[in-house]
Amino acid sequence: MKRHTVRELQDMIADQSVSSDEVYQLYLNRIKAMNDSINAFISIESDETSSGTEENDSEIKGVPYALKDIFCSEGDKTTCGSKMLSNFVSPYDATVVKNLRKKGTIILGKTNMDEFAMGSSNETSFYGNVLNPWDTERTPGGSSGGSAAAVAAGMAPIALGTDTGGSIRQPAALTGITGLKPTYGRCSRYGMIAFASSLDQAGILSISAEDAAIFLEHMAGYDHKDSTSSMEEVPKYTEFLNDNLSGKVVGLPKEFFDGSLDSKYQGLVSDSIHEYEKMGIKFKDISLPNIKYSVPTYYVVAPAECSSNLARYDGVRFGHRSSDDSDLDAFYKKTRKEGFGQEVKRRIITGTYVLSAGYYDAYYLKAQKVRQLINQDFLNAFKEVDVIMGPTTQQSAFKLGEKVDDPVSMYMNDIYTISSNLSGVPAISHPIGFVDDLPFGMQVIAPHFMEHDLLNIVHKYQMVTDWHLQIPGICRELDR
């Protein structure tokens, strides 16, 4: 089975060697054939069309994509992987969906995810675990694991996800694809159901950096409906994909290379660094001294914001509703007890605690101060280097159930990715090889609004390597 890139689909549709309807049907057939084995999709939009396009000459007209079930799309169920929203039908489009719809793209369906984006292994969804197409006994990563698995397995050419602490980059690394988290504010959050408002960002899971560049320039931009949306001009990212890399300086944080990474993964990182050196890139050792506080800082800030955002789910206006209406207080409690899963409840309780009287200064306020120190570390580093590189994760995909009963161990999966969310800088993960037949990824981080540098660097790497083109065995079995 061949996985088609967005660029290939563009060319095929443009030269009329295939119609957009035929492309759409191809992916619907793949979803129907494979979804029972992977559980990547919660719902399939089998009656979608591209007739809503306002730009008949759009370069992505007719290109289908998968949508994480955290984005609202008019007339479709938007569940956030939760029982709480299992009956919610959105009355409007998220801005990124609206932007892509105008260009004639087609939604294939809504992808499975950790409940309300809270998780690192896609094991907290009300709709069951997503399985990694490279090994169905292992996690695809989370919380955008459904989108990652769909792209990796060839069930979608590209997918949207969200990244709050690594939820695009980590699953991209574990499934052998490319995952881009743009600068905070680069893409509108309107219509993207909130987990932690100061951290959440819409992004892309794709086969290649080129595909991510194509989609980003169409979905990004200022939105007056989102007060955190940036007015920074959106460049045409594809025009930067062939910029010369000679003379670029890349920082290697000593905190990412402190000996904690297993030698078998360190070897892949070293090999990819040597490949980049052939392109004329220079490497420099740097330090991000406060990055060691990223995980504890995140797990104060994110639960605090989640406890506030999820207070709206009370069964009164929309979503799951308890049948116990003996009194209002009991109704609220029963609705939330029935509607939320264990991990969501854990984070709500943690967040409520750190925001409560007597603990706000000791926890939440202190975490925000440390967050600023982490941001300053990045600002200082980018005075010396153009981008920063390091492993995306500490290991390749782990087995389902391996960490589900150990929340602290699970939280440490995002140790390399969380800092980018705390500081709001863009970051991308791309595959650099395999260990024990499982993919492993490298992360590249850039200054705010320098996505074009990230995309160019990774695109150049993917022009001389083929790790991103490797196909899971489950896809080859489809042809038999």
- Residue 246 belongs to a domain with what CATH number? 3.90.1300.10
73 is catalytic: no
The one catalytic residue among 20, 43, 58, 68: 68
- Active-site residue (options: 20, 125, 167, 206): 167
Domain presence at residue 280: no
145-167 average pLDDT score:
98
Q: Is 116 left (phi over 0), alpha (psi -120 to 50) or beta?
A: left
Is 452 a member of any domain? Answer: yes
pLDDT tens for 246-263 read: 999 999 999 999 888 999
Band (pLDDT 50/70/90 cuts) for residue 51 is very low
Residue type, 41: F
Choose among 322, 318, 343: nearest CA to 333: 322
pLDDT given at position 323: 87
Q: How far is CA 303 from the centre of its chain?
A: 19
Q: Is residue 291 one of the residues assigned to a domain? A: no
Tell me the chain's radius of gyration from C-alpha atoms. 21
Nearest to 160 by CA among 204, 197, 224: 204
| ∠ Cα 136 461 266 (to 5°) | 60
Closest CA to 395 of 193, 260, 303: 260
Residue 266 lies in a domain: no
Q: How many CA atoms lie within 13 A of 279 on its CB side?
A: 24
Residue 340 reports pLDDT greater than 90: yes
Candidates 43, 125, 143, 144; catalytic one: 143
Quote the number of domains for the chain. Answer: 1
Helix residue ranges per DSSP H, 232-365: 263-278, 294-309, 328-339, 342-355
Residue 458 pLDDT greater than 50, yes or no: yes
d(Cα 440, Cα 429) in Å, to the nearest integer? 10
- Report pLDDT for 301: 97
Burial of 89 (0-12, 13-18, 19+ CB in 10 A): middle
Q: How confident is the model at residue 53 (pLDDT cuts 50, 70, 90)?
A: low
**What is the rounded CA–CA span in Å between residue 149 and residue 153?**
6
Q: Based on the residue annotation, tell me whether 50 is a catalytic residue of this protein.
A: no
What value does the mean pLDDT take over residues 437-445?
Answer: 98
Q: Is residue 212 part of a domain?
A: yes
The predicted pLDDT at position 406 comes to: 87
pLDDT of res. 49: 63
The answer as to whether 358 is a domain residue is no
Domain that holds residue 392: 6-250+379-478
Between CA 409 and CA 291 the distance in angstroms is 18
Query: Stretch 81-86: mean pLDDT, rounded?
Result: 98
For residue 347, being part of any structural domain is answered with: no
Task: Give domain status of residue 473, yes or no.
Answer: yes
| The two structure tokens encoding residue 159 | 């997918």
Catalytic residue check, 419: no
| Residue 41 · residue 111 · CB < 8 Å | yes
pLDDT above 80: residue 294? yes
The torsion angles phi and psi of 241, rounded to 5 degrees, stand at -70, -10
Burial 432-464 (b: 16+ CB within 10 A, else e): bbeeeebbbbbbbbbbbbbbbbbbbbbbbbbee
pLDDT of residue 396: 97
